[in-house]
Chains A and B, each alone.
Chain A
Amino acid sequence: MTKPNDTLKQYWRSLNDRKSKPKLAVLGQGGAAQEFPPGADELVISSGTSRRKFLGILGASTALAGLEGCGYVRKPRENIMPFDKRPEDLVPGDPIMYATALQIGGTVLGVLVENQDGRPTKIEGNPNHISSGGATDVWAQATILDLYDPERSRAPRSTVSVMSADAVEGEDEAALKGLLSAETCAATYDRVLSDTNSVDAALKARTACEARVQESGRYEFTSPQSATLWVDAEGQIDSDWGSAYKALDELSKSAAKTSGEGFGLVVPHSMSPTFTAKLREFTARMPKARTYVCDPTTPVSSLLTAEALAGGGARVSYHLSRVRRILALDSDFLGTETDHVRLSREFSMTRRLSSPDEGGNMSRLYAVEPTMSITGGSADHRLPMRGSQVADFAALVAVLLMNEFKLKPSAAAVPMVKALKAPKMTPEAERFAAAVAKDLSAAGKSRAVVIPGERQDPATHAIAFLLNDLLGSLGQSVGTLPASLHYTTTNYAARTVNSLATDLQGGTLKHLVCLGTNPVYEAPGSLKMGEALDKLETLVHAGYRNDETGQRANWHIPLSHALEAWGDLESNEGVVSICQPQIEPMFDTPSALELLARILEPGKAANGMTLVRGHWESMVASTRRPLTEKVWRRWLHDGIATGVPRDGRPASRSGYGVVAKIASVRAAPVDKGIEVGFNLDYSTYGGRFANNGWMQELPDPTSKLVWDNAAIIGPQLASSLGASDGDMLTVKVGDSAIMVPCWIVPGQARNTVSLSLGQGRRGIGTVADGAGFDAYQLIDAKSPAFAAGEVSLGAGSKQLVSTQDWGSLDPDGPDGNAVLGVNYKERTIYRETDVEGFKKDPNFAQKGDLMPKTRLESLWDHPNLESRQQWGMSIDLNACTGCNTCTIACQAENNIPVVGKEMCANGREMHWIRLDRYYTGSDENNPEVVFQPVGCQHCEAAPCETVCPVAATVHSPDGMNDMVYNRCIGTRYCANNCPYKVRRFNYFNFNLDIDPIAQMQKNPDVTIRFRGVMEKCSYCVQRISQARIDAHVAGTDEIKDGAVVTACQQACPASAITFGDIANPESAVSKQKQLSRSYTLLADLNTLPRTSYLGRVRNPNPDLKDA
């Protein structure tokens, strides 16, 4: 028997997992409880009947009832509705991809949208666009579900007394109102009477109704015939487009008359050149009007420093493909921050190893951060540190680089040096800084990069500029795109949400239009934005949802979804894309751009395409190539606008003096007490995706929480507070306090609490209701990212659901317990080593099986795998960052239902790909994190197949474990027998009552599953079948390597997944599987999985090895 390799570590999934020493005893207790979801064993129902017996009785009676119900019904009659004139190149039933672009925070992703008979169903990356490179992220994937949200805003609403188009203008309004109110309230009376059977209650309701109508004068006249009408208790009622546009036009006209005196506009951080140009036009037309940016996803600090350095519109971008050393200063550049998709791709490229000799070329990542991010998880060395001390750490590294390692800043950067002082830090941090400085300086010119995080204040970014300057990376691996090359300017400093609050309090603003923004929810709580906005005379809100601001507004105008609107976006790297609508606006909504154009020209309905095309026509007019129809079509087709003119002025880096000034104004670090930090939520991304079921049910990458966010605290703070998972904490910052359930996450910096932004939204939809809590309330505008706070244990607790508590592949735990006389040692599910260990033992990944391969014998006949092509997958754990994109891409592709928090609590989540997260290392306060995507392994000798009584899961000749939904009778034997715990059961009819709008998202190539049916990863069999058909029609027998791309593989930003024909030794997947790092999960069970993993190789710094 092979002894576990020295480099194999012990892994644990949570702190509870680590503490308990589970025993494999009765099913449902001890270790087995971790393998099976709750309720998998015999459950005694209150009356004393066991669950199985109850089901037996139920089954027998149902069978008898079924005999009676036997009847013959013909298939339903179906119509085929052909086109009147079919558009050219449109083949009914065939998907078409159209290029467009999406903005996610400060990132622009070029995407291709799959259209099925006119409805967009899936988003893929545009391979030609630099920022996506063919991949996407979770939010781009989830955008498609947002488009089909049945709860999106559909019609304008207003608090202003409006006559509908049906009513005759100029008639006796008072009489009409009197008549209507009497009828409304009579209807209210009838309804309450029939509901409650209480005359008193009904009378009371009628009186209240009459009072309300009298007082507000709000009424609506929906149809002259029925005269059904109602008065909204909140004071806002449905209106119509004509009235809404009329009101907006009047407002714009009066604003134009006074050059915008008292008029304000709140816009999001837009990377659209046309929108920016319109904003400039707005400022020129109405010089006295103010514009503000309210958008928590804006990369504020990097914009401010870049623009200070190189003028308005300048951007910083990082390029990692040649880089050998990276220092992430509280930066989640692989997860939530600017250009995360491109950076994931470039970073993973520097981590690929085909042989031990390449270890020297591998990059090394250092992360310094307060809370565990996926970047921290990917880091070779991670130092938990208070977020507000990161600037000190950066300064320390800079001083070390200059003093110890004699690196010289460029002449321009010299003023910045004066602003630096070597701060005093903890010995641990100083040791870390010394090792980092030594390693960075040794990397060579422009081979090391420092990436500051967006939560960090501009000072940290300014110091990072100096650091990159010292390392020779500025202008090389760190691109500073000058203002002259950018179309979108920000001038962010003058237009923050803080100045909006000041202007509102000062009363200088009278009328405000929130164009796709939601300041009530997204502004820091200390600004009390809700109350401040109530002081306005007119508040107009335009948004995709009738959100917190919309509900307070005098007018709410629904906006189009990004996939319904014309637009353009310019990426950080300077690539311009034209965004084309994938579908007509479903509810006749305008886009933000069209609405802005209407404000500029009241009364004139703007057309998005005319605006965008007109803008670019005028832009390219100066060049020799005018914007012909052909060029325009080429732009739309490619998703990239080529040949756009740029200002030829050279890059200016004159602003070092200003940057130096920024570097010297640093917020004082929170040295003592508790530091409360805020970060964007991995699921809802600041709140945008709060009403998106996919995102709510997507486990957080590190805490694995679903449908909630929590106060993340470390084990050290938890033990000093006496708190355990789910206990309510009172978190206090300044004067505001909130009650939050806590979740203990190893790796959190000592005495810090991290709260994610974007949950706890109420009243915007049924999905968001009840999920999480709102951390924006707690933010102090003066220190929005990190603040000194207090935390104490509150009363009670809340159920938080983490998906990592069952589905264990190693149920008897790390210690191993004797079961039936056999001592099961730890099963090494995740296999890793470091560069040195890989050199010593290239076959490290093969070590750790409980049984040597030679001793494995099968009880079963091996399935007949006779096809020429055999499918298999390889997942590179060295590249995987744990970002969850595969899970969501799979959900979008395979029509996987959303099941809700309660179901997840019972272990019934439906994701076909589970991203396992393990901790390793002895220090609970600073462990290492590893991620491992696990879907169906498509075992050749599949344990599920041997136990299915109805052959519903069988092997295909090309090596796939097929799931035949129609045969499945729901015994769930297969799921119980699956050692990988990847089978998912439809306990309820999750797909029965889907709103017709939400149905439009479903992929027609994948069967919608019914209740009582098992499902699991199919290796995207629909894509394999299509490739086989395409190859056959094209006249070949063989599907070419690369013709089948699974949904997870396509979406993965790190290209960690390879799929293809393993029978062909030249295919990409075969080459991956031939690497010495390749291993299969639980190989000792002799299941012969078709999915294999490439073991991870870390690249630690020898100086920090025994930290």
Chain B
Amino acid sequence: MPAIFPRWTNKIPLALGVLGPLAGVGLVLFVWVYFSPSFTDVGYRPEQPVPFSHKLHAGEMGLDCRYCHNTVERAAHAAIPPAATCMNCHSQVKTDSPKLAPVRRSYNTGESVPWVRVHQLPDFAYFDHSPHIAAGVGCASCHGRIDTMTVVAMDQPLSMGWCLDCHRNPEPHLRPLDQVTNMSWGDSETEDSMIDALRKLAGTSAPAETNGEQQTYNYREDPERTRLPEPPVACSGCHR
């Protein structure tokens, strides 16, 4: 009686035994990488109604973050500035620029400039800027080197796991309280190798440049600090 299955089929169980787990691991890795906010969110760079360049304003001209986002130290939201803030300067400079037309229209008519939200948390996560600033977490720690971005993009995944990494061990991300808005303060976050690796995997470029000025900072010895940061790690710390 001729064999129904040719001889090579004997290898199928072996192949399945080897490839099956590999495929499984591959699937897990695929979901791990491509379904995570590190891939889906990092690098999100929507087009804005006004081509405002943070690189020009915050980088080259050196405006402090808080000139525009002035509620950041005392409120949950680092409020997007009203058109009036833009007009403080732009009533003098570039008064006819067509790119600034939406700002002038807003200032004159009272209608808002419809900025597109870049850093968007889910509604059930109650993030508040003020305690982070008070604890000495730099703007650049979460937002990246905004001063190098012509168009703002997401630099960090802002996922729950990413938040918790820092909440469980805030020390590497703390800096002197007067350096919070300093974009170029040598932070140690570039050492966060997993995020870097994921970023490379995802093909997004890392916008952060280190200026080589690695500083050592021990927040426990900072006389400016009147209390130590104790970020909440329980559910009710961020969810209400």
Contact = CB atoms under 8 A, between A and B. Distances in A.
The yes or no verdict on A and B being binding partners is: yes
B74 interface: yes
Interface in A948-962: 954-958, 960, 962
B133 to A, nearest CB: 8
B76 interface: yes
B240 interface: yes
A1035 B116 contact: no
Q: Which of A84, A92, A1032 has the most CB of B within 10 A?
A: A84
A1005 B73 CA distance: 19
Contact of B234 (A77, A82, A956): A956
Interface stretch (B55-63, B79-87, B141-149, B164-172): B79-87
Contact of B126 (A84, A954, A1022, A1035): A1022
B184 interface: no
Contacts of B84: 83-86
B35 interface: yes
8 contacts: A72-B35, A80-B117, A81-B114, A83-B82, A85-B84, A86-B79, A94-B71, A1029-B128
Interface string A1018-1035: 100110110011001101
Interface string A987-1021: 00000000000000000011110000000001001
Contact of B77 (A86, A93, A1018): A93
A79 B126 contact: no
Given A77-B46, A82-B83, A1037-B228, 8 more contacts: A82-B113, A84-B107, A91-B74, A92-B75, A1005-B240, A1021-B236, A1025-B240, A1033-B73
A1029 B76 CA distance: 10
B124 interface: yes
Contact of B124 (A80, A85, A954, A965): A965
A1021 B237 CA distance: 9
A857 interface: no
A82 B80 contact: yes
Nearest to B110: A84
Given A954-B235, A1021-B236, A1025-B240, A1037 B74 contact: no
A113 B66 CA distance: 30
Contacts of A1105: none
Contact of B112 (A83, A956, A957, A1025): A83
A45 interface: no
A1039 B209 CA distance: 40
B213 interface: no
Nearest to A1038: B227
A628 B79 CA distance: 34
B131 interface: yes
A1103 B73 CA distance: 66
B11 interface: no
B235 A956 contact: yes
A1024 B239 CA distance: 12
Contacts of A79: 114-117
Contacts of B115: 79-82
| The 4 A-B residue pairs with the shortest CB-CB distance in the complex, in nearest-first order | A81-B112, A956-B234, A83-B82, A85-B84
B134 A1033 contact: yes
Contacts of A1021: 236, 240
A960 B237 CA distance: 11
Nearest to A87: B82
Contacts of B81: 82
Interface of A: 72, 74-75, 77-86, 91-94, 954-958, 960, 962, 964-966, 1005-1008, 1018, 1021-1022, 1024-1025, 1028-1029, 1032-1033, 1035-1037
Interface in B80-124: 80-84, 106-107, 109-117, 120, 122-124
A82 B75 contact: no
Contacts of A954: 234-235
B235 A964 contact: yes
Nearest to B84: A85
A84 B108 CA distance: 8
Contacts of A1022: 126, 240
Given A78-B117, A1029-B131, A1032-B131, A94 B76 contact: yes
A1029 to B, nearest CB: 5
Given A85-B107, A86-B84, A965-B124, A1033 B74 contact: yes
A86 B112 CA distance: 11
A213 to B, nearest CB: 43
A86 B227 contact: no
Nearest to B71: A91
Given A84-B107, A92-B79, A1032 B226 contact: no
Contacts of A94: 71, 75-76
A82 B112 contact: yes
Given A92-B77, A1005-B240, A1025-B236, A82 B82 contact: yes
B230 interface: yes
A822 B105 CA distance: 79
Contacts of A81: 112-115
B140 interface: no
Contacts of B126: 1005, 1022, 1025
A621 B110 CA distance: 39
Contacts of B130: 1029, 1033
Contacts of A83: 82-84, 112
B40 interface: yes
B135 interface: yes
Contacts of B46: 77
Interface string B187-217: 0000000000000000000000000000000
Nearest to B124: A1007
Contact of B75 (A91, A956, A962, A964): A91
Contact of B123 (A72, A85, A964, A1007): A1007
Contact of A86 (B40, B75, B82, B237): B82
Q: Which of B75, B124, B228, B236 has the most CB of A within 10 A?
A: B236
Given A1032-B227, A1033-B134, A1037-B228, A1006 B240 contact: yes
Given A84-B109, A91-B71, A956-B235, A1037 B230 contact: yes
A79 B239 CA distance: 23
Nearest to B234: A956
B236 A960 contact: yes
B118 to A, nearest CB: 9
A1028 B76 CA distance: 13
Nearest to A956: B234
Contacts of A955: 234
B74 A74 contact: no
Given A74-B40, A82-B113, A91 B79 contact: yes
